[in-house]
Amino acid sequence: MSNYDQLTAHYQTINHFNHAQSMLGWDAAANMPSGGNDARSQAMAELSVHIHRLSTQPQLEEWFGGAQQESLSAEQQSSLREMKRQWQQATIVPEDLVQAQSIAGSKCEHAWRSQRQENDWIGFEKNWKEVVKLSREEAKIRGEALGLSPYDAMLDKYEPGTTTASLDALFSDVKSWLPELIEKVLQKQQSQSIIMPSGTFSTANQKALGLETMKLLKFDFDHGRLDQSVHPFCGGVPSDVRITTRYDEKDFVQALMGIVHETGHARYEQGLPKAFSGLPVGEARSMGVHESQSLFFEMQIGRSKPFISHLSRLSANAFNAHKDPVFAEENLYKIYTQVEKGFIRVDADELTYPAHVIMRYEIERDLINGVIEHTDVPALWDEKMKASLGLSTKGDYKNGCMQDIHWTDGAFGYFPSYTLGAMYAAQYKATMQNTVDIDAAIQSGDLSPIFKWLSDNIWSQASLHTTDELIKRATGETLNAAHFKKHLETRYL
């Protein structure tokens, strides 16, 4: 076997263990009884160590050296680059740190589920302290190996090639126009009357509505399923994608759009090229590109007038409420485009959402770079919420710095992906409009032309190109936030 073939066989093996790990994680979030957590954490930590050992075996260095001398096709060269990237990411971090992080993260996240409900910062802080300490260790080790600042090294895990310098510039631009735009839209919406949902919307009916909506979005039910969990997510593997949402029987609005969002993630996974299945080059390009798919589905398709017309019909059917004005097209559109300054990121509207992301980015950047301590976070959170959205979270940890799952297990560097994703999505739409009549496709109920564009330009490309190359090939330019600003102004003003 050539060195390249030995590498691909080895990475297929690693992929099988990642598959198992992913399913264990999904089950822990969607099905596992709380008493199973300690044993599950140990099992998953053991599996993490095993995957880490496979990813750092001594012969890999020799194979990479040899493979670079072999004559490879352009696609094989991309594949080699991505395997090497994963190998470098793995070999940087020592095994004992990987294990310690897995255990500290599982412990902190599991306790957080009840601590958040109880607004228990003191209890949370005791566990989180260790997660932050280990994440800083990881960031320092990665930074030294890659020649990056600690936070840039964490960013590199989720957004290869993205730096603090580029994000600082991007986000300071957004901060220069977003507050004024929010105020203008709030002013404009002041006079509109909205009928909000009231009464009970059973979980069973909401789930049925979600499944109908997933069919409209061409989710492949032979290779995936919908469940419920505390925090909506998309997990599993491309051949078996698991998405979850959370239901509130007093309000169907959030869960439904949550399903549209997670279906975007799922369609990307289901659309990855089979030819590279199980290899790093066959995986999603970055978390920002992943979010661009969920946000294309949620924001560009899901909150558009023609799609809301479908939701109006489907939801009136699901709740047997054809005469209820809540489900009228105009009213649903107002609900889904209502702008409101709120505390919770996952419930935020499209317009205020970037403000939530930017403040988290600024806090985690300074936390990982050692500029602030983890105990400074609640006060900083309050200060930044007041500055960006005029809301105070003093003493309100559950609606403040304890609201997200990301930091509980050390996923520092992830938050920027959300706003990068929203920007990419707006840019795809601006380009797609040149060749696809988007509104007509949505209206007809056959969204295939939209999905074909996404498949040709994004899904089928997996990680063959760098993020910048991928976006440039798809849209003719690298990331340009002007498309995002224009999208928001067009929809809301």
Which are the catalytic amino acids? 262
CA atoms within 13 A on the CB side of 305: 6
Q: From the centroid of its chain, how far is CA 75?
A: 27
What's the rounded Cα separation, in Å, for the pair 479 and 161?
13
Helix, strand or coil, per DSSP, at residue 245: strand
What's the rounded Cα separation, in Å, for the pair 29 and 344?
21
What stretches of 369-466 show up as alpha helix (H) in DSSP? 377-389, 416-432, 438-444, 448-457
- Name 48's Cβ contacts closer than 8 Å, sequence gap at least 6: 21, 98, 99, 102
- Name 454's Cβ contacts closer than 8 Å, sequence gap at least 6: 267, 268, 271, 293, 296, 428
What's the rounded Cα separation, in Å, for the pair 277 and 474?
22
DSSP 252: S
Lookup: tokens for 17: 């263990």
